[in-house]
Structure formats: C-alpha cells, structure tokens
Structure 1
Amino acid sequence: MSGRLQDRVAIVTGAAHGIGAAAARRFVAEGARVVLADISERGLAETAGELGDAVRAIRCDVADPQDLPATVDHAVTAFGGLDILFNNAATGAGGGLTEMDPADWDRVFAVNVGGVLHGIRAAVPAMRERGGGAILSTSSVAGRCASPGIAAYAASKAAVESLTRSAALELRENRIRVNAIAPGLVRTRAAEASARFLLDALGSDPDGYVAARQGRWGEPDEIAAVAAHLVSDEASFTTGQCYVLDNGATLRA
C-alpha cells in the first residue's frame, strides 16, 4: 500500500461487515487509524479483532442524532482528531409504495439520509480543528435507476447524492471535501439477501440477474480502493461528485 492515509484519523460507519469492513481494512493498510462504528456489536468485535491497535470500535446507530457526535468524540479522544468520515451505514425495506409500512419508509430515511446529515454535522467542527478533511458517503445506483419494490431505498440514495452536492459547496471554504460513491450490486451479505428476496418473487436467479445486469458481482475490496482514493490527497481537487461503481451497468438505457 502507498501509505497515502498515513497518520490520518477516520470514522467508518457500517463498519462491521461488507463495504464498511473492507474500507476499514484498506484505510488501516494505507496508514490511518480508524474508529469502527456500527449497530452490530458482534460484527464490530470481529472486525476490530482483525485490525488490532489501529482501530477502536463503538456501537453507533446513525439514525440517533446523539450517537455520531459521541463517535466523533471517541475518535478525538482515542486518536487526537478527525480527518476522514465515511458515511457508509445503510438499511433497506422491501415492498411496494402502496403496501409498505410507513414506519419502514421513515426508518430507511432516518438511517440512509439522516445518518449522513448527522455525520456531517458531527464531523465538521473536528475537521475544522485539523484545517480540513474529507467526507465520503455511500449512495447506490438504485438512486439513479428505478427498480420495483425498493422505492424507499432508492429515494434515500438519490437524496444522499443531492446532500453531497450541497455539503460540498457549503464546506469548501473550510477545506472539507464531500463526495459520494454509488456502487452497483456488490457481494455482501446484505446485498445477496436483498437480491434473493426481490428475485425470488420474480422467479429469477440472483447470480444470473447480476451477470445480465452488470457482468459480475462487485467485490467490497474494489469499492474500498476507490473510497481510499477519494478520501486521500490524491483527490484534493475533487468535491461534490458521485462516483458510479457498477461495471458499466448504468450505461445502458
């Protein structure tokens, strides 16, 4: 690894599994110290045990406006500051618009959009103390392409992109860059379970669907590599952008 995140302090939400865990590993390999945040204490313990002294773990529900400020405080106390925030935690809910429970819709937005907002608000004061920083959020190609049965998730991810652009302009004078990534179908437990749930109803095979849509599953490490670039100084002139990572799936009408 290049050491391009040497001596940086990062928070990764949704760090217990999947893209978040892969990003935490990559950030540590690049020299960062990382606070792992997730609601899954068991998953946190597994990831933290793998990464050793370079990380700290804290239970965090990003939908709770109090949890992310506490997570930032944890990073400052443990490692002396905050340079990077990766808003990766997310949730979904299936069901058509006319059938789904309104409480499910509210929870998806509380986590996927509220969590990004709470993260930005909590991180900015600490980043100002360091003279700047980088914020990255996970959107999804679902926010750009319509799919039946996942309207809450898709709408929330479109909101993440819009919030990213607004935050980038507001925080530019503070030398805080704000970007997003929009992965396609990535081989995580959550994505595989969601694909199976949706496609069982259609009588389709998840692997066949993925192959037809985007050629193959993406891998968490592939997403983590782009995340590491975007929060590093290599992307110092990049802000307000959303990088689509889907092997070309969204290039077709």
Structure 2
Amino acid sequence: MAASSPTEHASGQTSSTALVTGAASGMGLAVAERFLAEGWTVLGVDRDGDALAKAASDLGFAFRPVPVDITDRAALSTALDRSHGLSGATGLRAVVNAAGIYPPTTLADFDEAAYRRIFDVNVLGTLNTIAETVPALRTAGGGAVVNFASIDALAVSPGQLLYSASKAAVVTLTRSLGVELAADGITVNAVAPGWVDTPGTRAGGRIEQAVATIPLGRAARPEEIADWVWKLCDGSYMTGETLVISGGLTVR
C-alpha cells in the first residue's frame, strides 16, 4: 500500500491526494487537517456547501472542496470526475469515509424515512464513495480506505437503534472489502470512535453524562481520531479490521 507516490500540486510541490467525506466539520474536518499537515492534497467532500467553502477558505489551496451529496452516486461521480479528473488521477492514495448522521431512534418511534436517511448516508454513501474512488486507487498502484464505524456498532446505546445497525453494516462491509480489494494493494479498515468532543456530539446533550463512564475520564478530541486514521493510511499490514478508539469504554 503506498502513501508515498507523489503528484504535482499547484505550488510546484509534490503531494499524494486523500479524499475525505464529511470534511466540512467535526472528525472529517480534523482528518482533512491531519492530511494537509502531512503535505497531502485533500479532496474535501460534503453536502454542506457553505461550511465546505469556509473550510476551503481556512485551509488553503491544498484543500479542494467537492460539494456533493454522497448518497447520489451519479452526482458524486460527476463532481469528482469533472471537477478533479479523478478517473484519470494517479495520486489518490487514501479515501476516508467520515460522513455520517446519528439522529436518535427507537423501535417505538422509527419510521421508513428515518431508516432510509440513516442507511443512505452511513452505508450507501460509504459504498458509493468507495466504488467511485477504487479505480483511481488502482491506477495509483494501491492505497488505503478508512471507514468511520462507531463504538455503537459493537456496544449499543439506548436510543440509537438505526444508527447502531448502520454502523454494524459499515463494520461488515469493511471486512468484505478488505478481502475483495486486497489483490489490488488496497487496504480497507475502519475506526470505531466512542465519545468524541465535536459540536454535533455536544448538541446531543449527552456527552457530559457519558464522560463519567469513560475510564480515561474524558471524550476524545477529533484530532486524536484523525491521528489513528492517518496511521491506517500511512502504510499498514492491517486490512478488514475495525479499530476501537473509546478511552477504555468497551473493556468494562
């Protein structure tokens, strides 16, 4: 797997390219910043065009915004190919599927619309992104895919019925694609964060109470999750695995 094949970048420097979904905020933004700090070019994918434009303004020319909804594969293909020539790219070496949604659901209150929204973003969006980027990874001679699962895929939380199920699906597709893409030199792994201190998590109103249950006594910082994503992309013998990053929460 190689994260070391450089491509020419606008400043005259060389850079590998990473594609990051959910790149406008939270852990996706932290992942984008981590790759940029390593000298990579980042294709930042997000459906929130305004937030993505702000990220591009803050992060500079090496962050290339791709405003598109990953649940629409045709639109994703068009956005990547027309705007960035991805189908002919040789420098794409990493794909990080950080986009996700987590509205609460239970058996008593779920409906078909909630099911489709959660699975469309968390599962179908991940599959669409991998399907549209694997040809470029193959052209580059291999690379890494990192999917965002969740601790809820392994140790479920009350009120997260469909979210937990969707992230369990991400764990399984990670295992399947780890096998399917191994011959192409493409590793496929997942991270399963526990509680992470992001604006979205804080908006849910449960993080303060949850921190008391974490052996390390705090939520993770987005940058800490991004560090593990980087390690999985910067050369790895692992594939098909899910790395739990929970501050010790799952060992209880």
Question: One fold, TM greater than 0.5?
Answer: yes
* Identical-residue share of aligned pairs (%): 39
Aligned residues: 239
Picking from 209, 216, 219, the partner of 1:217 is 219
Asked if 1:231 is matched to 2:240, the reply is no
Asked whether the equivalents of residues 109 and 156 of structure 1 are also in contact (C-alpha less than 8 Å), the reply is yes
Match of 2:85 in 1: 76
Residues 179, 211 of structure 1: alpha-carbon distance in 2 compared, 3 angstrom cutoff: same
More helix per residue: 1 or 2? 1
Show structure 1 runs of 4+ deviating over 3 A. Answer: 3-6, 74-81
- CA distance in structure 2 between the aligned counterparts of 1:210 and 1:72, rounded to whole angstroms: 39
Asked whether the equivalents of residues 5 and 91 of structure 2 are also in contact (C-alpha less than 8 Å), the reply is no
Residue 113 (structure 1) shift: 0.5
Matches within 5 A, 1:25-44: 25-44=33-52
Match of 2:9 in 1: none
Picking from 88, 106, 131, the partner of 1:121 is 131
Asked whether the equivalents of residues 146 and 190 of structure 2 are also in contact (C-alpha less than 8 Å), the reply is yes
Asked if 1:250 is matched to 2:250, the reply is yes
The residue type paired with residue 243 of structure 2 is: Y
Matches within 5 A, 1:1-150: 7-73=15-81, 74-76=83-85, 81-150=91-160
Residue 212 (structure 1) shift: 2.1
Residue 22 (structure 1) shift: 0.6
Look up the SS of the partner of 1:146 in the other structure. coil
Look up the SS of the partner of 1:118 in the other structure. helix
Residue 81 (structure 1) shift: 3.9
The residue type paired with residue 128 of structure 2 is: H
The residue type paired with residue 238 of structure 1 is: M
Matches within 5 A, 1:136-215: 136-194=146-204, 196=205, 199=206, 206-214=207-215, 215=217
Residues 71, 9 of structure 1: alpha-carbon distance in 2 compared, 3 angstrom cutoff: farther
Residue 133 (structure 1) shift: 1.3
Residues 70, 150 of structure 1: alpha-carbon distance in 2 compared, 3 angstrom cutoff: same
Return 77-86 or 60-69, whichever deviates more: 77-86
- CA distance in structure 1 between the aligned counterparts of 2:173 and 2:48, rounded to whole angstroms: 26
Return 179-188 or 99-108, whichever deviates more: 99-108
- CA distance in structure 2 between the aligned counterparts of 1:158 and 1:90, rounded to whole angstroms: 13
TM-score normalised per structure 2: 0.89
Asked whether the equivalents of residues 75 and 81 of structure 1 are also in contact (C-alpha less than 8 Å), the reply is no
Look up the SS of the partner of 1:66 in the other structure. helix
Q: Which runs of 5+ in 1 are unaligned?
A: 200-205
